[in-house]
Amino acid sequence: MMAAPTSPLIGVLALQGAYDAHVRTLTALGATPRLIRVPAELDALDGLILPGGESTTMLKFLDRNGFFEILQSYVKSTPTFGTCAGAILLATHVESPAQRSLAALDITVQRNAYGRQIDSSILTAPTSLPGPPLEMVFIRAPRITRTGPTVETLATRDGFPTLVRSGHILAATFHPELSADPRVHQLFLTLVRQHHADFARQSH
């Protein structure tokens, strides 16, 4: 039987992008971060974060040495949180333009849907998370234009989902790692603990 980890080991994909910011947030919340650049480093993680950045660049790296296929099967069983480009990687469908994705989360994502950097914005809105309204930092953000039946929407912008969950997969089109509010990462760590508790119960 596997014990629920006290300081969960969370991988942060570091091919390129906002991995530093996630590491800072995870460390502040008492988790142990590990930067992931090659498949071997995925070993023994409790959870995985796919950060923001350029999804096209990340895909180039995933195309090498079978990383894409390894990651595709890995996220099926490991709690995974994708922000921005990470959410694009997790989606079943990607638009403008269409591109390959891990298809772990039943959503359709439209890239750079709000425009370029001058259209980036910080919004604060009520969400289904406990506590006050949540600050959401959108950087050249994508838009979730469709969610499948198993997908729960936890936050929205203009009626479109910005934070969604389905089973052990969490995805945000904004950047909680760039806000001081830790609730989204806390939610992910809770999800990690639940997943391992469920796993422990099943295998008991």
Partner 1 sequence: MADPTSNGTSSFHEPALRLKLGLAEMLKGGVIMDVMNVEQARIAEEAGAISVMALERVPAMIRAEGGVARMANPKLIREIMAAVTIPVMAKARIGHFAEAQILQHLGVDFIDESEVLTPADETYHIDKHAFTTPFVCGARNLGEALRRIAEGAAMIRTKGEPGTGDVVHAVRHMRQIVSEIKALTVLSDQELYNAAKVHGAPYELVRMVAKSGSLPVPNFSAGGIATPADAALMMQLGAESIFVGSGIFMKERATPLEVGLYEEGDVYKDGDWYWVKIKGEWQPDVPIVRSNFGKPIDPSLIGQPRNPEERVEAISRARAIVIATTHFADAKIVADAAETVTGTMKGLAAAAIEEKDLMQTRGW
3-state secondary structure 66-85: HHHHHHHHHHHHCCEEEECH
Q: Which of 8, 10, 11, 17 binds partner 1 (CB under 8 A)?
A: 17
SS3 170: strand
Residues 146-165 that bind partner 1 (CB under 8 A): none
Count of positions on this chain that bind partner 1 (CB under 8 A): 35
Q: Of 51 and 161, which has the nearer Cβ to partner 1? A: 51
Residue 139 engages partner 1 in binding (rule: CB under 8 A)? yes
On whether the CB atoms of residues 107 and 92 are closer than 8 A, the answer is: yes
Pick the binder of partner 1 from 32, 92, 121, 186 (CB under 8 A): 121
Tell me if residue 100 falls in helix, strand or coil. Answer: coil
CB of 110 to partner 1, least distance (A): 12
Q: Is 177 a catalytic residue?
A: yes
| 92 makes contact with partner 1 (CB under 8 A) | no
Among residues 10, 36, 178, 189, the one that binds partner 1 under rule CB under 8 A? 178
Under rule CB under 8 A, residue 61 binds partner 1: yes
Cα separation, 173 vs 85, in Å, equals: 8
Instruction: Tell me whether the omega of the peptide bond preceding residue 133 falls within 30 degrees of 0, making it cis.
Output: no
In the complex with partner 1, the residue whose CB is nearer, 57 or 194, is: 57
Name the active-site residue from 22, 84, 185, 195. Answer: 84
- Beta-carbon count within 10 A of 101 CB: 22
**Residue 196: active-site member:** no
In terms of Cα–Cα distance, which of 123, 162, 167 is closest to 145?
162
Q: Is 159 exposed, middle or buried (0-12, 13-18, 19+ CB in 10 A)?
A: exposed
Catalytic residues: 84, 175, 177
Residues that bind partner 1 (CB under 8 A): 14-21, 37-38, 52-54, 56-57, 60-61, 64, 84-85, 97, 111-112, 115-118, 120-122, 137, 139-140, 175, 178
